[in-house]
Each structure stands twice: as structure tokens, then as C-alpha cells.
Amino acid sequence: MTYVIEIWFLFSNFTSKIKYYMSGKIKKIGVFTSGGDSPGMNAAVRSVVRACAYHNIECYGIYRGYEGLMDGDFELMDARSVKGIINKGGTILKSARSQRFRTKEGRQQAYEQLKANHIDALVAVGGDGTFTGAMIFNEEFNFPVMGIPGTIDNDIFGTSHTLGFDTAQNTVVEAIDKIRDTASSHNRLFFIEVMGRDVGHIALNTGIAGGAEEILIPEEDLGLERLVESLRRSKKSGKTSSIVVVAEGDKIGKNIFELKEYVDENMEGYDVRVSVLGHMQRGGAPSCFDRVLASRMGVKAVDSLLEGKTNYMVGLINNKMELTPLDNAIKGKSKINLELLRVSDIMST
Ligand code: F6P
């Protein structure tokens, strides 16, 4: 019985490979990273390169995102070119935010470069700006593209996790723990700003994990009065120090330094400090979760292109690799978990 299953497995694996080769359209894939870098991008590049090697097709690394695409900054990569990078933060392919690619001339130039190098399809690792560029490029030139969501913000629809989100959260929690040590030693109130322009995933999760008194996110305007009230309440209940986690895109109407001033003026008994965590949240070795996710996404991206699929993003939905049309990934909303809001309220009692 076991032999029968094994032979069947080998055979089905073999036939699926034959199927790929018979489709035969895609012989060279280009991969690039674009927009804000995130931990796990290297692991994704490694996965795409190795999946191409597995299928006996060539893979080109494209440097500096769309900038390198327009300049023909390509390098043929094999399985060994990506050794020792799974654990590295940043991106060996470099990244950029390109204004030139927003123009028709820029995209035409990119197309000419791809044609000249006989590249048949692209894997774009990045966020919504990257996907918008890829989608327009696909529409204009009917060029096969596949997206891998790489951004710490987790603000992409069609995946429960973007690459780097898990690692960034761990980095932030470590920072909050450290700030808490000094906050409690001096009986201080700290406002800690974390990344998240449009969504509050990082703030909400790390605020709960770091034991924050309040969490300010773009999705919810807590209001200054309620914030001060809540801080007064927690002081009354015996707390001597407090942490408030603020997402950079928070809608309370004041930036984090103005918040400090407001609280200074409207609350007695707290020595207030501000800590902006900034770009350190984007660096560091990817977590185990991000490495596995990146490996799965790279394989799925190459498999899908070879199956003739295009203009999709690969994502994690219910622990399965699924495809979402790029258009939906860009326009759809990545929603925060409302249950977490309630949990955070209860925890700050
Ligand atoms: O998109 C990821 C992100 O880290 C945002 O959270 C942040 O607002 C932005 O990038 C910062 O971008 P830049 O690298 O241009 O400073």
C-alpha cells in the first residue's frame, strides 16, 4: 500500500512538472523588491530564485525596484546566489520608491529592458504602491506579473500577514519592554510612536503585548478628552507609570509631540516623555514566521506564473496560500480585528 502511494506521489509530482514545461511560455522570471523594505524580503527573493532553479527556468534579480527595471540593472541568479540570506534583514536587491515608473515613458523603458533580456514574467515584492505599478504595467503591456506582499504595516487586503509584520511587531514589543523599565523607574508617562500610516495593526498588537494603557490608531479617534480621562483613571487606580502606543497615522488630530504638550498642560502628576521608534522597526533578522511565510509565498508565486496566472498577489488566508487579484489587494481594506480593541480596553482596566 505504502509503495502504491509513493509511486502515485512521484508520478503526480512528475506530471505536474511536465505540465509546467509543456506550457513552456515562461522561461525567465525577474524578481525585485520595491517600496519600504521589510524583514523577510530576502527570504522571498531566495524562495523565488530557488523555485525557478527547481523548475529549470532562469531567474534574474532586478536591483533597486522599478528604478533598476527601467535601467536594466539585472543579474542572473542561481540557487547558490541566494545562499546565507534567509536570516538577513533589508533586501540584497535594494529597494526604491520610483517616480519615473509612474510615467508612461518610464514603463515603456522598463518593457524594452525586459524584452531585450528575454524576461517573460515578473515577481514584485512590496506594498500597495508596488502592486499599483505592477498592475498598470500588466494592463499596458499584457506582461505577466505576480505580487508578494512585503511591508511591515500589514495593510494589504488578501493576506492575514504581510512579510515583515511579525518581525516588526516583535521588534516593537522588545522596545516597549525596555521603555517600560525606565518609565516605571521614573514614574513617567511615555508616548511611543510606531509605524502604520493607514492601519493600526502594529500599534494594536504591540500595545496589547506591551501592556499599554491606551492605543491610538488610524481607524479610531479616541478623542483627547477621553485619552486624558483614561490616564487619570489609571493613575487613580494606583498606576505610577503609563505607556500609550500611537500609530503614526493616528487620527486624534495631534502629532505625538503635540500630544505630550496637551497632556502636560491638562494633567498633573505625570512627567511625560516621547519615543519615536521610527525605521528601526523595519530592520533586523526576520522571525521564523516571516521566513516560512516568505518561502511559501515565493514558491506559490513561481508556481502560479508557470500555471499561466497573472496579475495576482499571493497571500496567506486560513493558513493556505491563496491568490487575490492585484486590483482587489490594492483597493480592498485590511481591517483591524475589533475583538483586539475590546481586549485592549479590558486589559487597561
Ligand atoms: O510602508 C511602510 C512604512 O514603513 C510606513 O509605515 C511608513 O510610514 C513608511 O514606510 C516610511 O517610509 P520611508 O521609508 O519613505 O521613510
**Residuewise pLDDT in 10s, the chain (349 residues):** 445 445 554 555 544 444 444 456 899 999 999 999 999 999 999 999 999 999 999 999 999 999 999 999 999 999 999 999 999 999 999 999 999 999 999 999 999 999 999 999 999 999 999 999 999 999 999 999 999 999 999 999 999 999 999 999 999 999 999 999 999 999 999 999 999 999 999 999 999 999 999 999 999 998 999 999 999 998 899 988 899 999 999 988 899 999 999 999 998 888 999 999 999 999 999 999 999 999 999 999 999 999 999 999 999 999 999 999 999 999 998 999 999 999 999 998 8
Question: Which residues lie closer than 8 Å to 128 by C-beta, 6 or more apart?
Answer: 155, 156, 329, 330
Q: Is 168 in the pocket of ligand 1 (CB under 6 A)?
A: no
Task: Write the CA distances from 168 to 36, 210, 282, 330, integer angstroms.
Answer: 13, 13, 6, 22
Q: Report which residue type is found at 16.
A: S
User: What is the reported pTM?
Assistant: 0.93
Contact yes or no for 33/294 (Cβ under 8 A): no
Distances (CA, A) of 37 to 29, 30, 32, 125, 201: 21, 18, 11, 9, 17
What is the number of the ligand 1 atom nearest to the C-alpha of 282?
4
- Ligand 1 site, residue 282, Cβ cutoff 6 A: yes
Which residue's CA lies nearest to atom 12 of ligand 1?
Answer: 36
Question: Atom 14 in ligand 1: which residue has the minimum CA distance?
Answer: 36
CA–centroid distance, 36 to ligand 1, in Å, is 6
Measured in Å, residue 309 CA sits from the centre of ligand 1 at 30
> What does the alpha-carbon distance between residue 299 and residue 47 come to, in Å, rounded to a whole number?
6
